[in-house]
Amino acid sequence: MTADVLREKFLAFFEAKQHKIIDSDSLVPKDDPTVLFTPAGMNQFKKEFMGFDSGYKRAATSQRCLRTDDLDKVGKTSSHHTFFEMLGNFSFGDYFKEDAIAWAWEFLIQELKIDPKKLSISVYQDDVEAYSIWKDKIKIPQEKIVKLGDKDNFWPAEAKAKGPNGPCGPCSEIFYDFGPDTGCGEKSCDPSCSCGRFVEIWNLVFTQFNRKEDGSLEPLPNKNIDTGMGLERLTAVMQGKKNNFQTELFQPLIEAIKEKMPSGVVAEPKILYAISDHVRAVVFSIYDGISPSNEGRGYIVRKIIRKSVSHLRNLGINEPFLSKLTELVTQIMHKPYPDLSARYADIAQVIYNEEKNFIQTLNEAPVIYKTVFAAYDSTKAQNESMQREVSKAVFTLYDTHGIPLELTKSWLDGSGLKYDQAIIDAELNLQKDRSRAHSQMKGDVFDAKGLSVKLNQTKFVGYQESACQAKILAVLKNSQEVSQAQAGEDLQIVLDQTPFYAESGGQVGDTGELVNGENIFEVLDTQKIDNVFLHVGKIKSGVLKKTDTVTAKIDRERRLNIARNHTATHILQAALRQVLGNHVGQQGSLVSDNKFRFDFTHFRGLTKDELSRIEELVNNFISFDCAVDSQEMALRDAKKAGALAFFEEKYGEIVRVVAVGDISKELCGGTHLNDLKAIGLIKIISESSVASGIRRIEGVTAKFAEQFIKEQEQKAALESQKRNKLEEQKELQKKRNAEISSLLPDRSLKLINASIKLGSISTVFSVEDNLDVQALRKLADLIKIKLSQAVIVLGSKDQIEKKVSLVIAISQDLLPKGLDAGVLVRQIAPLIGGSGGGRKDFAQAGGTNPDNLTLAFDKLRDIINKLQ
């Protein structure tokens, strides 16, 4: 039975049990600070587990998950994965243990036809109820039920003793028994043994307690069911495989790697398993909008790619190849993720870029090593301090360049340098702590974003209205409800209905006022939690309290500007796809009143011609004066109609589709114009890189675009004035130089006639304050042509700017006698507060002490006298 069939059977079974089938959530958890990635099926239902009413009490999913805690184990065991699918059924205060256990058994025995003799059960040691259900109602033989402790059969593991606080409870696991020929062979072997004979296939969690700060457990008023069954593991069991990597989910990838390997290379299975696992993790991470980077989720993706590249090199594959497996992943996962086929080429390009860069780093590793470790001499005694420095350098190469620790250690062993593994391990642990702190992850499993008070959801009327009458449902101060508030206090006010748009989907929240006579609340921002709108601000005058009726009025001009920018992002995406290709997809946005920002998939910077074409296209769209329409429809129908979706958003069954004529059609909950012409004008102000394969365009509309153009024109006019002024100065300088040049021949004759003999050497010393250094050089050359056995020293001073220039020229007939202009100038340059250099026959110097020019001349005369 294939994985695709199992997935369908599971969801169909629970749909028949009145479960709502929910699409897999993204690998990027939304409003959840406890995890970097979605690690389990229950994560998208945290609010439901905490009592939030989503309109259903039962749900089932096949959730794509990513876990990195066991990254180093992947490939070494038969069932550890980074990316996997978790089948799960959930109850939110509805059915409990008896139904959960009965249905799990029914699915495995009746639907999948698993031999019940092959299954064993574990229960929590204190869970008498679960034990009784399995033994007395399901009729599981007593010897096939094992009681385990807090570590194995309580969720979260050991929560009773160690926390975290919040919902928790016992669990019961179902194991498949591969028989006594597998594993340790001991007669006493049972599901608590880790030998491999018993494989856990389904975990049923009974969330019935709330752990309090003092460690006590109090019963939850609403008891929940959370189950998880790994699809990869179930597939292996159903196909009689003892290793997940032997199934159709991995074998095509493994075979493709084998075909690429050079002849004669023998592959360790664990390496093949790891690569086949990692490429799935990388493909789906990028699919969910996580680009490789140096921090957060992106760092994990980059790390997995680099591990895979290192593995491939161990197999003799030294060129980018992981990216070529992307299409194969797409084919294997086509059934649950058909839209992968339209995106795999873009995903492959992102992976290829990462591979290429890392392979280049690995190829340059020997040169990097020689540079980094050049200061350490392996022939000398290597003390503790030196080993510490070498060890930290090893970690830095891993952390900064991604060079595998094993590769660096191997090079060090060959070079005779020693390192301390304990120091490297300590640095790795510090890195994990920094990463955890940077991600702002918290410890409590259920520490999801939510309100401390129960309130009905706010009715939003802002698509049609800019003002409405509303009743105050709550006044919050520091997240706590207060009876009333006075002027100057920072507050959050909740209304029964509102025209204020709450920040969402990249669009900023509205501002405005809540007015009750002389009592005025200034709304500085609007946020929402669980569809409860929070009007954030402060009271300008008077007093407001719960049950007061107010007129809620948004800042209409600001809203209009926001709407212009939001509609602009929609037609911008249409233009980008037309100019660059259909691979362009939104990866993020910011829509405010004064500008918009749009992030999208593309693999190189845009040329000036492309940007000009895109800008021209969006403004042509505006000239069409299309209507902007919105309507609600089923998500399935919206996708069939070709509506584009933003990767980060989680959409319900009913979605809002915003259409701009025939130009654009997107799923969007934001506020928009009624007609395109109201945008006025769009101006792109910047284009840049955000991450590997992600570009960003920033732009402005309407009066902000006009102001930007005006400022650019003013800037261009100033630049033009500067250029003109520079040209004028150049012309004046050119004219002055020509005038000076015409005078230099006569001046050279005068200086020749005034030359003085120092022994057998003719010397010229002169200060020419009206000449720059170029003119000094030219004058020295004219004198040198006509004066033999000569040393010419010329200088000029600028007392205002405190600058001095000096040149020394020596005739060719003196060079054999050892005179060297370069040596001479270096000897006297410090006297004028500078430095100099040059050839034997000509040198120059500059300085900042013009008063000492005469001293420099005197020192040169002394040097020349002594050389004879």
pLDDT tens profile 460-482 = 999 999 999 999 999 998 878 88
pLDDT at residue 380, as a whole number:
67
| pLDDT tens digits for range 544-581 | 999 999 999 999 999 999 999 999 999 999 999 999 98
Cα angle 517, 519, 523 (rounded to 5 degrees) comes to 115
pLDDT at residue 488, as a whole number:
81
pLDDT at residue 435, as a whole number:
59
More confident residue, 644 or 738: 644
pLDDT at residue 449, as a whole number:
55
pLDDT at residue 647, as a whole number:
61
Nearest of 510, 491, 492 to residue 455 by alpha carbon: 492
Q: Which of 51-60, 160-169, 328-337 is least confident?
A: 160-169
Q: Which of 228-237, 643-652, 706-715 is least confident?
A: 643-652
- Angstrom distance (rounded) from CA 82 to CA 362: 24
8 Å CB contact between 198 and 189: yes
| pLDDT tens digits for range 25-42 | 999 887 676 788 999 998
Cα angle 248, 252, 258 (rounded to 5 degrees) comes to 140
SS3 177: strand
Share of the chain above pLDDT 70, in %: 96
- Angstrom distance (rounded) from CA 639 to CA 642: 5
Phi-psi bin for 144: left (phi > 0), alpha (psi -120 to 50), beta? Answer: alpha
| Other Cβ atoms closer than 10 A to 382 | 16
Share of the chain above pLDDT 90, in %: 60
Tell me the whole-structure pTM to 2 decimals. Answer: 0.77
Report the relative pairing of strands 20-21 and 58-66 from DSSP bridges: parallel
CATH 3.30.980.10 fits 559-708, yes or no: yes
Nearest of 751, 839, 826 to residue 790 by alpha carbon: 751
420 contact partners, CB below 8 Å, separation of at least 6:
387, 388, 391
| pLDDT tens digits for range 409-423 | 888 888 888 888 888
Sequence-distant contacts of 827-831: CB under 8 A, at least 24 apart: 827/859, 827/863, 828/856, 828/859, 828/860, 831/855, 831/856, 831/859
Q: Which amino acid appears at position 327 of this protein?
A: E
Report whether pLDDT(828) > 60: yes
Nearest of 209, 195, 53 to residue 124 by alpha carbon: 209
**Hey, what are 634's tokens?**
């089923």
Cα angle 646, 648, 651 (rounded to 5 degrees) comes to 75
Report the relative pairing of strands 532-541 and 490-495 from DSSP bridges: antiparallel
Report whether pLDDT(92) > 60: yes
- Angstrom distance (rounded) from CA 815 to CA 818: 6
- Angstrom distance (rounded) from CA 64 to CA 281: 10
Residue by residue, DSSP assigns 768-800 as -TT--HHHHHHHHHHHHHH-SSEEEEEEEEETT
- Angstrom distance (rounded) from CA 22 to CA 98: 23
- Site of tokens 């919040």: 166
187 contact partners, CB below 8 Å, separation of at least 6:
none
**What residues form DSSP beta bridges with 218?**
210
What letters, b where the CB count within 10 A reaches 16 and e where it falls short, cover 111-140? ebebeeeebbbbbbbebebbbebbbeebeb
Q: Which helix (H) or strand (E) holds 28?
A: none
Radius of gyration of the chain (CA): 38
Report whether pLDDT(443) > 90: no
Most confident range, picked from 28-37, 610-619, 753-762: 610-619
**What residues form DSSP beta bridges with 66?**
83
- Angstrom distance (rounded) from CA 122 to CA 692: 46
**Hey, what are 128's tokens?**
């008498």
**Hey, what are 563's tokens?**
């709407």
- Angstrom distance (rounded) from CA 244 to CA 176: 14
Start-to-end CA span in the chain (Å): 104
**What residues form DSSP beta bridges with 552?**
468, 514
pLDDT at residue 328, as a whole number:
97
Q: What Cα–Cα distance (Å) separates residue 763 from each residue in 125, 334, 757, 773, 856?
A: 108, 91, 6, 19, 14
Secondary structure of 479-497 in the HEC alphabet?
Answer: CEEECEEECCCEEEEEECE
| Right CATH for 466-553 from 3.40.190.10, 2.40.30.130, 3.30.565.10, 1.10.3720.10 | 2.40.30.130
**Domain 3-246: what homologous superfamily?**
Bira Bifunctional Protein; Domain 2 (3.30.930.10)
Count how many residues are written for the chain: 868
- Angstrom distance (rounded) from CA 850 to CA 767: 11
| Other Cβ atoms closer than 10 A to 280 | 26
SS3 242: coil
Q: How far is CA 691 from the centre of its chain?
A: 7
- Angstrom distance (rounded) from CA 215 to CA 508: 41
Tally of CA atoms within 13 A in the half-sphere of 758 that contains its CB: 16
pLDDT at residue 486, as a whole number:
78
| pLDDT tens digits for range 195-238 | 889 999 999 999 998 888 888 888 888 899 999 999 999 999 99
- Angstrom distance (rounded) from CA 140 to CA 420: 54
8 Å CB contact between 107 and 12: no
pLDDT at residue 381, as a whole number:
63
Q: What is the mean pLDDT of residues 496-515?
A: 96
Q: Which helix (H) or strand (E) holds 845?
A: strand 842-847
Nearest of 58, 49, 99, 55 to residue 222 by alpha carbon: 49
8 Å CB contact between 174 and 119: yes
**Hey, what are 344's tokens?**
């795999």
What one-character DSSP code corresponds to residue 649?
P
- Angstrom distance (rounded) from CA 605 to CA 593: 27
- Angstrom distance (rounded) from CA 680 to CA 267: 63
Q: What is the mean pLDDT of residues 693-701?
A: 93
Nearest of 569, 568, 591 to residue 507 by alpha carbon: 591
- Angstrom distance (rounded) from CA 288 to CA 296: 14
Q: What is the mean pLDDT of residues 709-720?
A: 92
- Site of tokens 């161990």: 314
pLDDT at residue 867, as a whole number:
77
Q: What is the mean pLDDT of residues 833-848?
A: 91
**Hey, what are 273's tokens?**
């398993």
8 Å CB contact between 37 and 29: yes
Q: What is the mean pLDDT of residues 117-145?
A: 96
Going by pLDDT thresholds of 50, 70 and 90, the confidence category of residue 440 is very low
How high is the mean pLDDT of the chain? 90
- Angstrom distance (rounded) from CA 313 to CA 305: 12
Q: Domain 754-867: which topology?
A: Diaminopimelate Epimerase; Chain A, domain 1 (3.10.310)
Q: What Cα–Cα distance (Å) separates residue 258 from each residue in 243, 262, 267, 288, 822?
A: 18, 9, 8, 29, 67
- Site of tokens 């191997």: 410
Going by pLDDT thresholds of 50, 70 and 90, the confidence category of residue 448 is very low
Q: Which amino acid appears at position 783 of this protein?
A: I
SS3 306: helix
pLDDT at residue 687, as a whole number:
96
